[in-house]
Structure 1
Amino acid sequence: MHTGRSARVTLAPAPAGHGIRFAVRCPRTGARADDVPAGTAAWVASRMSTALDIGQGRKLRTIEHLMAGLAASRIDNAAITVEGTEIPILDGSASRWCALIDEAGRVPQARPRQALRIRAPFQVDGMHGFLRAEPGDGFTVDVSTDRLPGFGVLRWSGPIDPGTFRAAIAPSRSFGNASLIWRTALKTRLARALLPGGMRDRLWARSFDSQTVCGAGLVPASPRPEHRREIGLETQARMHPRDREPLLRGARPGRVAILLGGRVLGGARFPDEPVRHKILDLVGDLGLAGRPILGRIVANCPTHALTFAFLTELMRHPECWEIVPLAPAGTGRGESGTT
């Protein structure tokens, strides 16, 4: 997606207690990083993606779709080898990852699974949105976005289990907003020279016109200020990248959904596809908790950085959560590794 370079990813079985870990080799330099855990400790800020620090100033980028497929497939243990520095984007969704995991199969393991159960509401705010966890049975989400020019308010809520994820969330694609290109052009020196100020203001306003695609009457999910927690200075310092890195060099039709004026060029897979992809990314990023979450997640305009801040600050408030044995789901009780 961002580097525009090819990569090879291999998922292999791992013993109970191993977790999701990456071994990375850069084909260009031969540099290696072994046994990098998928967790908030290794999280490193990256533009428009979730990345892990693999040492020597290098990153493994765009892990969120693969992590979402693993989490939704209830895979707790896997050894992942990457030849490259970015997980392939494929068609911009998680459907192919889910299909490959299903083809490989799952093996129940002897160690009982554990989950992070939310005991008390916990919310962080930032970057024009918020993210809140509330006590609840199972894992459910209520996610909205109201900052996509031309789309108005998009909102999706419901439980996230393997079947629902594959049918309703996994096919949704990463998206790029063509309106942002137009708005950037209006800021240029040439636009200021050629267009009167009043015209530029009108064109700017039109880029935000609401053309809601999934029905009238929707409102964004509501924050709860009484449950808001501050984001620590150390966490804030880790939220935003300070280095220059490749961006969107591999983005093109067939790999991302292009949004323009309240529409998806070439057709949408769902009327509210952008917010469903927000949920896909959220599921993948929450996988960095290292355990399934039991509770209700409510968010408006979540981002990768905000989810990182949420998980990091949540871990600092153990009064809001507890680790509990996870009841069996379907056949057998235990963690799972890929085969």
Structure 2
Amino acid sequence: MGGGIGGEAGRHVREGRGKDRCGHGRAASGEDQATLAAPFEVVGPGLHTGRTCRVIVEPAPPDFGIRFRTLRQAADFTPATWRVRVPSRMSTALDLGAGGRLRTVEHLMASLASCGIDNAAVTVAGGEIPILDGSAGPWCGLIGRAGLRRQAAARHAIALLAPFEVSDAHGFVRGEPCDRCCVDVSTDRMPGFGVLRWSGAIDPETFRSAIAPSRSFGNASVLWRAALRSRLATRLLPPDLRHRLWLRSFHSQTVTGCTGPTPAEPRPECQHPISPWTLSRMTVTAPEPLLRGARPGRVAVVLGGRILGGARFPDEPVRHRVLDLLGDLALAGRPLRARIVANCPTHALTFAFVAELMARPELWRLEPAPAAPRASAA
């Protein structure tokens, strides 16, 4: 396996010390940090760019966190945190410095965090993490086969002390004090599906079996309109035909009545305003590729109230919302000990929740993470 860790970052990986990221020594009780027992490598196309990308995920020392670099950046690794998150349509993107920008990190981030990996060094040849089959299942399988290695450093979690909520026109995300990580997520804006809702505690086995297999979903009409905007369609189709096909694409978006569960409810008394700095990083202003790599086998294609080819779960779209939410929450840099309640969370809104929460240290504190079961080998 090529592309190993080198330079200053490589020395950090080889010579990591055993203090936690707060500067404290190892806790008398609680869980130790963990890294991979062996590296692994993935090659595949990106969802939005459609370009092939190579990813190498390697073990890292205690307190390294999850860090990324591109091959163009030589030895510099960038911590994957909310501070370097940049706006991106339908994905989570990181600014790695020196012109390096990496899209669609959320599935890998969710898998590492939910499988109990605290420290990993990720080297990427390309600008987007591969979409694989649209789910986090392949990532969990690779992590399981690589194995986990405990490290002599205490693992700390962010424990919420009071309810905290942010909202926008799409929905809301709220955190509530809890002794573990659990979620309650709904969506009521999926044409043809009504209201979908999933709740439960997040541990490695639950994530692997109930959340990770859910796929990115693309409305067939949205995918069709993206194809009509492509350079190939512009060259081959007359403008009037493209316009008629564009209008017809909206006719397939049937909407059924909202039956079954009710959406999660906001709590206005817990809402906090979103700062101008955070708002400036929620809106995409620069053009970027979109869904160029989307096709059956990489996304779950939704048409009306059906998933073409069959769903992996009856409520697969909302489970994938949970997956994306967990990947974006991982940008806090530590595990969250909280109950996360959300309706229609987007990448931008979850980023706003993390950024605004971190800016209010009176609402949280770092505590030793309690011992919990780790993901078993696949």
- With the shorter chain as reference, the TM-score category is 0.7 to 0.9
Cα shift readout 1:135-183 (whole Å, capped 9, x = no counterpart): 1121110000011111110100011100100110000000101244689
Distance 2:226 2:372 in 1: 49
Cα shift readout 1:257-308 (whole Å, capped 9, x = no counterpart): 0001100001000011000000000111111111110110000000100011
1:319 deviation in Å? Answer: 1.8
Distance 2:353 2:328 in 1: 10
What count of residue pairs does the alignment treat as equivalent?
A: 316
Aligned residue number for residue 48 of structure 2: 2
Match of 1:129 among 163, 171, 179: 171
Aligned residue number for residue 210 of structure 1: 256
1:330 deviation in Å? Answer: 3.9
Residues 131, 232 of structure 1: CA spacing in aligned structure 2 closer, same or farther, 3 A cutoff? same
Q: Does 1:233 align with 2:279?
A: no
Aligned residue number for residue 146 of structure 1: 188
Match of 2:86 among 26, 36, 44: 44
1:234 deviation in Å? Answer: 1.1
1:207 deviation in Å? Answer: 2.9
Q: Is the 8 A contact 1:173 1:256 kept in 2?
A: yes
Distance 1:57 1:242 in 2: 17
Aligned residue number for residue 112 of structure 1: 154
Provide the identity percentage. Answer: 60
Residues 252, 182 of structure 1: CA spacing in aligned structure 2 closer, same or farther, 3 A cutoff? closer
SS of 2:108's partner is: helix
What is the 5 A alignment of 1:138-287? 138-180=180-222, 207-210=253-256, 216-287=259-330
SS of 1:131's partner is: strand
1:9 deviation in Å? Answer: 0.8
Greater shift after overlay, 52-61 or 42-51? 52-61
Q: Does 1:95 align with 2:141?
A: no
Q: Is the 8 A contact 1:145 1:155 kept in 2?
A: yes
Distance 2:130 2:220 in 1: 23
Q: Is the 8 A contact 1:40 1:312 kept in 2?
A: yes
Cα shift readout 1:195-252 (whole Å, capped 9, x = no counterpart): xxxxx9xx9698352166xxx4311000000000000111101111211111111110
Distance 2:250 2:295 in 1: 25
Match of 2:110 among 68, 71, 75: 68
Aligned residue number for residue 345 of structure 2: 302
Residues 156, 184 of structure 1: CA spacing in aligned structure 2 closer, same or farther, 3 A cutoff? same
Q: Is the 8 A contact 2:226 2:291 kept in 1?
A: no
Distance 2:354 2:307 in 1: 32
Distance 2:312 2:351 in 1: 28
Distance 1:253 1:103 in 2: 27
1:34 deviation in Å? Answer: 2.0
Q: Is the 8 A contact 2:203 2:373 kept in 1?
A: no
Aligned residue number for residue 322 of structure 1: 365
Q: Is the 8 A contact 2:264 2:343 kept in 1?
A: yes
Distance 1:59 1:208 in 2: 37
1:124 deviation in Å? Answer: 0.2
Match of 1:289 among 314, 329, 332: 332
1:323 partner letter: L
1:309 partner letter: A
More relative contact order in 1 or in 2 (CA 8 Å, sep 6+)?
1
Q: Is the 8 A contact 2:162 2:177 kept in 1?
A: yes
Distance 1:91 1:264 in 2: 15
- Which consecutive residues of structure 2, in runs of 5 or more, have no partner in the other structure? 1-46, 228-238
Distance 2:95 2:217 in 1: 25
Residues 99, 181 of structure 1: CA spacing in aligned structure 2 closer, same or farther, 3 A cutoff? closer
SS of 2:138's partner is: helix
SS of 1:48's partner is: coil
Distance 1:247 1:153 in 2: 27
Distance 2:263 2:305 in 1: 17
SS of 1:266's partner is: coil
1:153 partner letter: V
